[in-house]
Amino acid sequence: MEVADSHSLVIVTVEDGDPEFAKAIEEQLSVVTAWWQTGPAPGQGFVQTILRSPEERHDVERFLHTSGIREATEDEALVVYITSHGAVGTSSRHFLLLPGTDRDRLLATGMPTNEIVIAALDSRARHVLVIVNACEAEGIDAELSLLTRDLARSRTAEGTLNVVATTATRSPVLGREFAVVLRMAFAWLQEAAGIARPHLTISEFIQALEHATERLNEERDLSLPGPRTVLHGKLSAPTPTLPNPGYRPKPQVVTRAREEVAATAEELEYWLDRASGRASRDDPGWYFSGRQDINRRLTSFVRGPAGVLIVTGTAASGKSAVLARAVTLSDCAFRASPRYAEAVSKASADSVPDEGSIHVAVSARNRGPLSLIEAIGTRMGCEPDRTQPATDPVRQWQEGLRAFFTTCRETCQETRRETCQGICREDIVTVVVDGLDESADAVACIRDVLVPVVAFAGGPGGTGRIPIPAQTSGLPTALPLPAHRGLRLLIGVRSTSPGTPEAAVATGLRGLLQELLAVFPAAQVVRTDGEGVQADIAAYAAALLAGAAWGNDPAVVTAAAQSVACHVGRSFLDARLAAEQLRRGDGAALLGDPLWLSQLDRGTVGLFEQDLDRVTDDGLNREEALALLRATAFGLGRGIPWAQVWPAVAEELLSARIDHADEKIRRLLGGRLAGYLTHDVEDDHVVYRPAHERLGAMLRRWPQQPKATRGMKGTRGADESG
């Protein structure tokens, strides 16, 4: 993505003496100058130059000379906005109508619109945007298509030259209407469009204008055709002439190699807040001090020799959370931040991984073997082995990883200095793969991604072959090549809890945990749902409830947290949902309500039904809110984008139109159901998905079976199993 060193906004407005048209122009300018706004300091934002109310053609020509449009420099992003009455002559040329224009003498007294347009396009600026809002603005097309032939070839090949006309042939100028269209497009891009980069493409800009025009037509019973491009450069190339109103720089908590698994800035800020369970500045907060036994085991592992550690447990028992904590606390950028340093320093030293001890962390969610091995390889600074068949990219990456582990460090440093982030200097590399059970093909990921690196996880030298059991026949065996570095591998995977009815049913079936233990027979296993989990959940719930309006008495909070822990089994997810309901309402009343406790016994489903029944408090219809939530559970990849896709999927599930869908999504994200969702970024767009795969599975299966047929009070139904 190109970044311009300077930005200029040039505005030409031509009034006709009508006070109403003058007001319409002012409304347009208020939006235009807000979109292409000046910066807080010199050299930032757009330098705005405005020609107001020229009387005759010479005024415009003099402005073109004095404003420096034609002399715009190569590294300048140039935006020109023109608003005026206009007309197309019999020669198919378009003219701006000035106060002194004689319609019978357009050539002499009118201002040829394309002279302004070409002044910008034929400047040296690589990135140019011209918006023409005039009567019959589309009429500039015929002449402009001829004039642009005289532009240097490099102008159209290297830059982004875009011209937008707001009106069609024989259509009047859009006064207040275009101000409304711009304002609606601006608001839509701020939120619903969900574009996560600083600049838009011309396609995205036109899409926003079209969306706004459709809304305006619907609201005012109009039939405006909407703006269109009469000249466009690269349709999918972000351009610095189109700042994105919705861009919010994402706080960089950890380095890229670890960010898929690490905690988000929002999560960390929550736990740093005093209202989230910090008794004093000496208290590091639950995130940094909770689940001590498990965190100590992970810390000990990443300080030790090469090997494999599997973090497993039932759904929602905190597998991803403990891995995220380890990944986050090991990151150099995180540790260097003054914002987090104090809390880390007060955490128990034997539960905090050494700085830089985890090198790569990726999520297997919705990934197949190629996507997963590529994610690991690129973050390690590896390259695929192009000597292998191009038809087998997985094999290319397998050999690339094998070369990484078997190449001496000195050679590796020379060849990968720019991409490996210093990983190639390590004796042992630590890799985290979380969410293996959420992979698109978990068994293939084990076979094609994990098995080929088995040999390097066998010890500091990694030279011994770990035998592949007979049950995994057909899997590629790891060759006992001489290794120059070892591998510590941490894997997060869901499993049933030993001794439960679900585990008994699964007897004889090869679950993912058993597949992993067959490949890594010497692996350490850490269960997040084992002995002591109820005490961990009680401490977690107490931290969540400490900021409640009724939670001033620590004894009351402790009792409430213990009550929650007794009812939610091994589920941290259910503990969080229950705590949110207690914080919102009268905690004492709910804890004494047998109906609420019976719903809590039913787990995620029971808690969700309670929130769903009260969604009208947020101004939402129950069925529409349910459809909007369910839609996020069917998204592929990292989630579902908001703009147009989310409402369309929800309407399909509901089998009915959802009026004002964007506003209802906005209320959903700001209401009691927001805790059931999380967001991410994929392909430069913000996407939404259920906050946990357990929620996703529940929403995909909805509606649930009738309440009367579910488990008795005190039991957790089959839909709550791991």
In the chain, where are the structural domains located? 6-231, 256-527, 537-601, 604-722
| Residue 441 buriedness (CB in 10 A; 0-12 / 13-18 / 19+) | middle
Q: Which residue has the tokens 């200095």?
A: 417
Residues 6+ apart with CB under 8 A from 385: 395, 396, 397, 399, 400, 403
Buried b (16+ CB within 10 A) or exposed e, 142-175: ebbeebbeeeeeebbeebbbbbbbbbeeebebbb
> Tokens 């009429």 label which residue?
139
Torsion of CA 439, 327, 314, 721, to 10 degrees: -60
Q: Tell me, what amino acid is at 438?
A: E
Query: What is the C-alpha R_g of the chain?
Result: 31
Domain covering 604-722, topology: Arc Repressor Mutant, subunit A (1.10.10)
Q: How far apart, in Å, do the first and last CA atoms of the chain sit?
A: 44
Buried/exposed code over 365-403 (b: 16+ C-beta within 10 A; e: otherwise) = bbbbbbbbbbbbbbbbbbbbeeebeeeeebbbbbbbbbb
CA pair distance 722, 51, nearest whole angstrom: 67
Amino acid at 401: L
pLDDT beneath 70, residues of the chain: 1-4, 41-43, 273-285, 408-422, 424-425, 459-483, 497-510, 704-722
Is the CATH code 3.40.50.300 the one for domain 6-231? no
Number of CB atoms found within 10 A of residue 405's CB: 23
Q: Please, are residues 581 and 590 in contact by the beta-carbon 8 Å criterion?
A: yes
Q: Which residue has the tokens 């190629």?
A: 370
Give the separation between CA 718 and CA 602, rounded to whole angstroms.
10
The one-letter amino acid code at 502 reads E
| C-alpha dihedral (394, 434, 329, 488), degrees to nearest 10 | -60
Q: How far apart are CA 532 and CA 656, in angstroms?
A: 48
Assigned token pair, 486: 């070892």
Q: Which residues lie closer than 8 Å to 362 by C-beta, 6 or more apart?
A: 260, 261, 372, 375, 376, 379, 431, 432, 433, 434
Give residue 395's Cα distance to chain centre.
30
DSSP-assigned beta bridge partners for residue 79: 9, 129
Q: Count of H helices and E strands in the chain?
A: 30, 17
List, in sequence order, every residue forming a beta bridge with 81; answer none if it has no partner: 11, 131
Reported as a single tens digit per residue, the pLDDT across 655-681 is 999 999 999 999 999 999 999 999 999
pTM (predicted TM-score): 0.81
Q: In 466-553, where does DSSP find H-type helix?
A: 501-505, 512-519, 533-545
Model pLDDT, residue 454: 87
DSSP 187: H
